Amino acid sequence: MSEFGAGFLDQAALIALYMLSASFLLTVLRVIIGPTLPDRILSLDMLVSIVIGFIAVIGIRSGFALYVDIAIALGLVGFLATVAFARFVMMRGHVGDDTKADEIEQERTS
């Protein structure tokens, strides 16, 4: 039972790493294709939470519990970055401005 448990945990951590890599790539794709600034900000927020999952899996596989602190620090940084980006979206002004008209048009047609 305990041998099977150890082997199962090893395989499960490996499969979880593959799935997290796939979701990381899909989220990076959304960062690239946009189409608007808030979409990219949201994707970056999602990237942070995927990386926290990565850190937890790596911590379990390697046995270093110290990785928990890194995960918490990364979560704090991600939260503050998203808040700052939301302020930036507010400060950048209304969508009716010329700078974002083509961006919104792209969103409508896609």
Binding interface with another protein (CB under 8 A): 1-6, 8-9, 11-13, 15-17, 19-20, 22-24, 26-27, 29-30, 36, 38-39, 41-43, 45-46, 49-50, 52-53, 56-57, 59-60, 65, 67-69, 71-72, 75-76, 79, 82-83, 85-87, 89-90, 92-96, 104, 107-108
- In the complex with another protein, the residue whose CB is nearer, 93 or 102, is 93
Q: Say which amino acid occupies 37.
A: L
Q: How far is the CB of 52 from another protein (least distance, A)?
A: 4
* Burial class of residue 17 (count of CB atoms within 10 Å of its CB; 0-12, 13-18, 19+): middle
- In the complex with another protein, the residue whose CB is nearer, 65 or 98, is 65
